[in-house]
Amino acid sequence: MPFEQTVSDTEPDETHFAQSSCKFSMFFGGVMRISIFWKLVGMICMTIVLLSGSIFFTVNHYVVDGFDKEASGAIKNFQKSVDHEVEDLRLFLQAGAFLLAENPAVAKAVAEGDGAFLKKAAKNLMDKSMVEFVTISDKDGMVLARGHSDKAGDSVMNQTNVKKALQGQSSVGVEPGTAVKFSLRAGCPVRYEGKIVGVITPGIDLGSHSFVDNIKKRIGVECTIFEMDTRLSTTIVRDGKRVVGTKMDNPKVIETVLQKSQPFISRNIILGRDYDTAYWPLIDADGKTKGMFFIGADRTLIENVESEIVMAVLTVTGGVAVIMIIAGIFFARSLSRPLSRATAFAVSVSEGNLGESLEVKNKDEIGILADALRKMLENLKAKILESDQKSKQAEAEAAKSQKASEEANAAKRQAEVAKRDGMLQAASQIDVVVERLTTASEELSAQVEQAGRGAELQRERAGETATAMEEMNATVLEVAKNAGQASESSDAAKQMAENGSSVVQRVIEAISQVQSQAATLKENMGGLGKQAEEISKIMNVIEDIADQTNLLALNAAIEAARAGEAGRGFAVVADEVRKLAEKTMNATQEVSQAITAIQAGARKNIQNTDDASKAVENATALAGKSGEALTEIVRLVDSAADQVRSIATAAEQQSSASEEINRSIEEINRISSETSQVMGESARAIQELSMQARELQGLVEDLKTQE
């Protein structure tokens, strides 16, 4: 494994409504439909889930991105701090080498090869400073003495600092050594009587763990020093041991740092833990890369804070979503219950149950629909009653016709009796009667035929009228159906607009919360800027002290120059103090620049927060305008729905009246047909009566002849 890796149950009303919906679906095509309750619940849940998800992912993105940027900036600042400390060590090593090389006694001892004196002088420098080792060599690069070891007489001519010093150049850089394998060391030439007689090489052992431990103690980050790609010293511990001697196995780090001599900043997983890391090259005196620094800041705290923020946002968003879903379910139920009752009422009436009652008293459009259904039932009952009365009138007319037929039959029977009992006595009278009967029969036959033609014409006109009324009724039904669908669409549009208005209001509330958080962030960034200003004041004091120190060093150098040869050593010390004061001033200026950058970043973040706050205010204003637009849409849709419902009601009433007229015309058509049929039968009976009258006349003639 690589050491580092880049990194609810349905209630009765709803059940009844679902059953009713199923009946309607089977009635209008046999296709199962989803009830309006579940449609509303689904739409509300989808809207809430999308809104909550958008808020959660947006907040999560900005939180994680903000922390990552802060962590990246922090690791870069840590790198600069380590660089400043290494630079201070470079200056310190150069100053130590210079002080020892400028000491006349040391210069004489180097020229004379006095190893014992030089070893004592080297140990004295190590005891009084942070220098960990001192090597003193002659003009041929042979070691005269070491303050950290008894080893002497070997050659260090291969070291860059020794070569440069023997050429009269002071230098400092990292490089491998003989007794100390890898170190930061300086080289300063030793001059005696105007000639270079040797080299003073003080240094810091980078292979020991004291340097990296000091970095971790001061800055609070893990630190590792690489000799090329091999870990030489580190603060990282595994199984109780420091992880040293292992190789860097990340090709990107090797290519960027060791081959291109550029810093590499990324997130790495080290021993199973996530770190923000920085790698940058260690340069020798010739400007070549001999190794690299590593620092890593543990991301556990950042990830814990991110997790807490994300969980808090998730909890709040989830809680609000649950509350809104519950409220939406209650809202959908308040709509579906009266609708289910109205639907069940309409289905029952359509099946012929005219005794049903509808107990819906809502003060909204559903209440208006319930009133219309109840009125429709009353009108239907009245039309049925009127139809029954018409039927009774037709039956009375049929009874009168039957009575007339019976009277005619009775007259016929009486005539036969009269014929049988008084044929001979009334022959003369019968002759007269027969003549009159024949004449009346002919006239009656003509009138019956004319009445039959009129009845047939009336039946044809009634049929044509019935056909026209059926077509008009179908058209009216289509208008009523379309008006009803338009009313439902208007109600749905109104409901969606009201839901949209409610969602916009909640968006405004969420944006207000974001604006409050932005204001809090602005106050925190302002506090950071004030703290940076306080640090800047302290650095100004340090800079003043460095100026005073520099001035005192110059005065001391002047006094030493006046003292002549006796003050030469003091002049050297004063010069080094002056240089250290200048380095302190430079470091103070760099820190001041860093603080200025922090203040600029704080001001920029405050400005960005203000811009975000203004954007939130604009979003709030736009959301408010959206709410007003949705409210106006609700009003317009409500007005349109009222007009469409009025049209639907009028169309339904017209349809009912058309159906009643159609039924009356059908009844008239039936009666006309029956009348025409009766007229035909009467005509045939009259013709038969006329024939019988003629036969009777013949019999009378026969009787008269017989007489």
Instruction: Provide the CATH number for the domain around residue 657.
Output: 1.10.287.950
Question: What digits encode the pLDDT tens for the residues 258-291?
Answer: 888 899 988 888 777 888 889 989 888 788 888 8
Task: Confirm whether 657 is domain-assigned.
Answer: yes
pLDDT at 411 over 80: no
* Whole-number Å distance between alpha carbons of 373 and 371: 5
Geometric angle at alpha carbon 265, from 311 and 535, rounded to 5°: 80
What percentage of the chain has pLDDT greater than the value 90?
5
Do the domain assignments include residue 46?
Answer: no
- The per-residue pLDDT for 285 is 78
Q: What is the mean pLDDT of residues 100-129?
A: 88
Q: Which is more confident, 118 or 666?
A: 118
Mean pLDDT of the chain, nearest integer:
73
| pLDDT at residue 11 in the model | 40
Lowest mean pLDDT among 60-74, 125-139, 153-167: 60-74
What pLDDT digit, counting tens, does each position of 329-364 carry? Answer: 877 777 777 777 777 777 777 777 777 777 777 777
Q: Stretch 543-555: mean pLDDT, rounded? A: 67
Q: How far is CA 650 from CA 372, 373, 375, 643, 653, in A?
A: 11, 13, 12, 11, 5
CA distance 175 to 156: 12
Instruction: Specify the pLDDT at position 691.
Output: 73
Is 12 part of a structural domain of the chain? Answer: no
pLDDT at residue number 497: 58
706: part of which helix (H) or strand (E)?
Answer: helix 568-706
Quote the distance between the C-alpha of residue 322 and its chain's center: 16
pLDDT at 446: 63
The tens digit of pLDDT for each residue in 290-331 reads 888 898 888 877 777 777 777 887 788 788 878 888 887 877
How would DSSP label each residue in 116-181? HHHHHHHHHHHHTSS--EEEEEETTSBEEEESS-S--S-B-TTSHHHHHHHTT--EEEEEE-SSSS
Q: What is the pLDDT of residue 137?
A: 92
Residues 573-596: pLDDT tens digits?
A: 666 666 766 776 676 676 677 667
Question: Which pLDDT tens digit goes with each residue over 174-187?
Answer: 887 766 777 888 99
Structure confidence at residue 142 (pLDDT): 92
pLDDT score at 16: 42
pLDDT at 444: 55
| Other Cβ atoms within 10 Å of 363 Cβ, number | 7
pLDDT of 21 reads: 43
pLDDT at position 76 over 80: yes
Assign 482 a pLDDT band (cuts: 50, 70, 90).
low
Host domain of residue 660: 408-514+627-706
pLDDT cut 70: percent of the chain above it? 53
If one compares 645 and 401, the residue with the highest pLDDT of the two is 645
The full DSSP string for 472-498 is HHHHHHHHHHHHHHHHHHHHHHHHHHH
Residue 701 lies in a domain: yes
Distance, first Cα to last Cα, the chain: 151
Q: What is the pLDDT averaged over residues 49-77?
A: 77
**pLDDT tens digit string along 642-690?**
666 666 676 666 567 566 666 765 666 676 666 667 666 666 766 666 6
Q: What was the pLDDT predicted at 136?
A: 92
Q: Is 8 a residue whose pLDDT tops 50?
A: no
* Locus of tokens 């302190």: 584
With CA atoms as reference, report the closest residue to 3 among 249, 195, 234.
249
pLDDT greater at residue 587 or residue 143: 143
Mean pLDDT to the nearest integer, 54-60: 77
pLDDT tens per residue across span 434-468:
565 566 556 555 655 665 565 566 566 556 655 65
> Is residue 19 scored above 50 in pLDDT?
no
40 pLDDT more than 90: no
Residue whose structure tokens are 């005192």: 552
How many structural domains compose the chain?
A: 1
pLDDT given for residue 372 in this prediction: 78
pLDDT of 500 higher than 70: no
Residue 542 is assigned to a structural domain of this protein: no
Strand 273-283 and strand 289-298: the pairing is antiparallel
* pLDDT above 70: residue 145: yes
In contact, 219 and 328? CB cutoff 8 Å: no
Please say whether the dihedral angle defined by the alpha carbons of residues 543, 548, 554 and 556, taken in this order, is positive or negative: negative
Residue 526's Cβ-count burial label (10 Å; 0-12, 13-18, 19+) is middle
In a domain? residue 641: yes
Which pLDDT does position 454 carry in this prediction?
Answer: 59
Distance CA 22, CA 690 (A): 68
Query: DSSP label at 239?
Result: T
3-class SS at 396?
Answer: helix
**Is 419 part of any domain?**
yes
Task: Please check whether residue 162 lies inside any domain of the structure.
Answer: no
